Chain A
Amino acid sequence: MTNPIFRAEHVSKAYAGHVALRDVSISVAEGSIFGLLGPNGAGKTSLIRIINQITAPDAGNLWFGNERLQQHHLHRIGYLPEERGLYKKMKVGEQALYLAQLKGLSKKDALIKLKYWFEKFEIQTWWNKKVEELSKGMAQKVQFIVTVLHEPQLLILDEPFSGFDPINTNLIKSEILELRKKGTTIIFSTHNMGSVEELCDNIALINNAHVILEGNVTEVRNRFRSHVYEVQFGGGMMDFSHSLGTYGELLSHGPEGSLMEAKVKLVNDATTNLLLGNIMRAVEVHGFREVMPSMNDIFIRAVEESKQEAKSAIQ
């Protein structure tokens, strides 16, 4: 990777009796969107806390740009925690100013930027409202603004979509893309695999304190491709399944409007052309495309595989 904005090298962290991270290394390219995935309790939040210097690692190095990660880098990092909240009795505007100043912005700059964001989200009337007067969705918008206000180089979002309604989820997604266009690097941790497919360039999947899968999303999906194809055709199902022969295995089938649709797995090292050739002789093909594994499937498979490995390692 040419210029990673953030690197974690062989990071380990253990709490009393529980290992949170074991020899974890990740590399995040500048200006990319990086997905940090994993089951609950896998260690994602621990890693995120270490990046934000809320806790220190037991072992390992962290790099921000070309320097070791230090206290002053926090001014260039924005963090939206999974469990989020604001001072309930404080007014929105005043609170946003306070938090921005804690991140190193001057009061003057913070005011200008706040005005920009409030106008963008059309929430100018909330300036003097107390946070407790806002609805949940409104508070989340404010929280997002507070996170990005100081124009951080690195933005860390822990479950950014949880608790957002579809409209706000869309809003956040488009903001994330816009921020990436401006050059911001985004690490986000989520269970929402759909968003991973939509947004992420690279991912790392953590399970049981170590990284079990990482890489570019497209490349990872390629890695996990299982040569499954979806065929839309006109004709009889029986004819179709007979035509597969030794080249293909029928996985599923069903009507699709006026046509039939089936999922076929390529087997015995057959090529697509061979399979297609057979099918074409039996039915009228209208559509033929590869079904790439979803991140959801990949997640489940990878975790399963690593569990198996762990079991066999013990035995």
Chain B
Amino acid sequence: MNKILLIIQREYLTRVRQKSFIIMTILGPVLMAGIFIVPVWLALQQSDDSTVLVVDDSFLFTDRMQNTENITFIYTTESLDSAKSALTAEEGVDAVLYIHKDIMTTTKGIQLVYETQPSIHAIRHIETVLSNDIEKFKLAKYGINQATMDAAKTNVSLVTKKIDETGQENSANTEVSMMVGLFSGLLIYMFIFLYGVQVMRGVIEEKTSRIIEVIISSVKPFELMMGKIIGIALVGLTQFLLWIVLTTTLISGSQAIIESQFSKDDMGGKSIEEVMSSNQVAVPQEAEEKVAQFNEAALDDFMKSFDTINFAVIIGSFLFYFLGGYLLYSALFAAVGSAVDNEADSQQFMLPITIPIIFSFVMAQYVISNPEGALSFWLSIIPFTSPIIMMVRIPFGVPYWELALSMAMLVLGFIGTTWLAGRIYRTGILMYGKKINYKELWKWLRYH
């Protein structure tokens, strides 16, 4: 046992210290976070400072509009028309805010006339300030105090459901489930390949450098094989964990930065999520609006559906299927590595191993639209395809007995392939120069 630990340690440390590992670890989260952060950041970007001329016919807001970092408010007693001409004539004015005199009865007709388009940020700011102040005036006028008002505030969050022609209701969850399912299936597919191939390469390296014979005089072949498989599994887990940690740190860090830069007042007391999901885009501005709408759709659903997906089950199952699928396939990769003398010869044996993996990835599309079907059921039980297919099914809800059966089969599966690989490995590692075919492999299986 001690020896296996030594081997695991060596396999782990040599790979974790490689440059490629460190680069992958950093690159992944940066890309992931970028996908979430960049659009948000863009949408909230402020344009250059603007100077707004305020024509206040109600005389209620004189000197109430405070200058912010980027917006300068200038009060004028000119008429609206002369203000508008000042806008076109002078350089220093970017927009004119017109507040009509009947603002306490109706808020319609408050205009913002601009020469240079102000940012969404500026518009929101003005709306927020105006709304808040008008509310306060009205409260005072009706004799309601602020405290009562706050207590009465209600927040309604809708659960959106779509009904299609067959009368089936699909909650917005479905799309997210599909995303999550496909994504986890993709991750497992990638990991099995990435790390399974590393196992094979390690075995071939030991053969070509001839160190294998030195090591085999100290440990049993099976110990070496398992040590290598487990060591590389730990490398994969480490990378995955680092990815999760780094991605969440990056995203929440960026969220914090964005939220602090744009204080809550500017956004009308709403958080970033609410900003993104609210439908108030005052003035259509093509690029910014499209970006904002994309965010509304994706982030809106995403945020709302967060609560309804059972993330505990998903993450737990992901870990199980990642490990199980990896163990099952990496044993086979180790066997292939032991049978050949160099990587080029491995191609002929790689094919039958990779076919089930690729097949399951291709079938993922089908399973997504048909998670309860018979084919989907069987594919999620058979150990060669279950790591990917079951992960695709899980977000849609899988009965516990099916999950248990699939997991049990996977355990049996990797015990089986490990046993098989062990017999091929211990003969193959000392065999050189022979062109190996399946008949040879069968013979090796039967050596005692």
Contact A99 B209 (CB under 8 A): no
Contact A83 B213 (CB under 8 A): yes
Q: State how many angstroms separate the Cβ of A177 from the closest Cβ of chain B.
A: 24
Most-contacted residue by chain A among B210, B216, B218 (CB, 10 A): B218
Nearest B residue (CB) for A87:
B211
The segment from A74-82, A236-244, A302-310 that touches chain B is A74-82
Contact among B14, B214, B219 with A84 in the assembled complex (CB-CB below 8 Å) = B214
A281 at the interface (CB under 8 A from B): no
Contact A77 B214 (CB under 8 A): no
B215 at the interface (CB under 8 A from A): yes
Report the separation of the CA atoms of residues A97 and B10 in the bound assembly, to the nearest whole angstrom. Answer: 11
Contact among A87, A89, A90, A99 with B218 in the assembled complex (CB-CB below 8 Å) = A99
A275 at the interface (CB under 8 A from B): no
Contact B214 A88 (CB under 8 A): no
Contact B213 A102 (CB under 8 A): no
Question: How many A residues, CB 8 Å from partner?
Answer: 27
Interface positions, chain A 13-49, Cβ under 8 Å from B, are: 16, 49
* A-B Cβ contacts below 8 A, count: 58
Report the separation of the CA atoms of residues A248 and B211 in the bound assembly, to the nearest whole angstrom. Answer: 56
| CB-defined contacts of A74 to chain B, threshold 8 Å | 217-218
* Known pairs A54-B216, A74-B217; A102 contacts B211 (CB<8 A): no
Q: State how many angstroms separate the Cβ of B433 from the closest Cβ of chain A.
A: 11
Contact B210 A84 (CB under 8 A): yes
| CB-defined contacts of A16 to chain B, threshold 8 Å | 443
A52 at the interface (CB under 8 A from B): yes
Nearest A residue (CB) for B448:
A56
Report the separation of the CA atoms of residues A99 and B213 in the bound assembly, to the nearest whole angstrom. Answer: 12
A85 at the interface (CB under 8 A from B): yes
Contact B218 A103 (CB under 8 A): yes
Contact A54 B430 (CB under 8 A): yes
Q: State how many angstroms separate the Cβ of A144 from the closest Cβ of chain B.
A: 12
Contact B217 A83 (CB under 8 A): no
Q: State how many angstroms separate the Cβ of A243 from the closest Cβ of chain B.
A: 59
Contact among A54, A79, A85 with B211 in the assembled complex (CB-CB below 8 Å) = A85
| CB-defined contacts of A86 to chain B, threshold 8 Å | 209, 211, 214
Contact B217 A79 (CB under 8 A): yes
Interface positions, chain A 129-157, Cβ under 8 Å from B, are: 143, 146-147
Report the separation of the CA atoms of residues A79 and B205 in the bound assembly, to the nearest whole angstrom. Answer: 20
Report the separation of the CA atoms of residues A88 and B206 in the bound assembly, to the nearest whole angstrom. Answer: 9
The 3 closest A-B pairs by CB, nearest first: A85-B210, A102-B218, A81-B213
> What are 16 A-B contacts defined by CB distance under 8 Å?
A74-B217, A74-B218, A83-B210, A84-B213, A85-B211, A86-B214, A87-B14, A87-B209, A88-B205, A88-B209, A99-B214, A102-B6, A102-B215, A102-B218, A103-B218, A147-B214
Known: A90-B14, A102-B218. 18 other contacts (CB 8 A): A16-B443, A52-B216, A54-B216, A71-B220, A74-B217, A77-B217, A79-B213, A83-B210, A84-B210, A85-B210, A87-B205, A87-B211, A98-B10, A102-B3, A102-B7, A103-B218, A143-B214, A146-B214
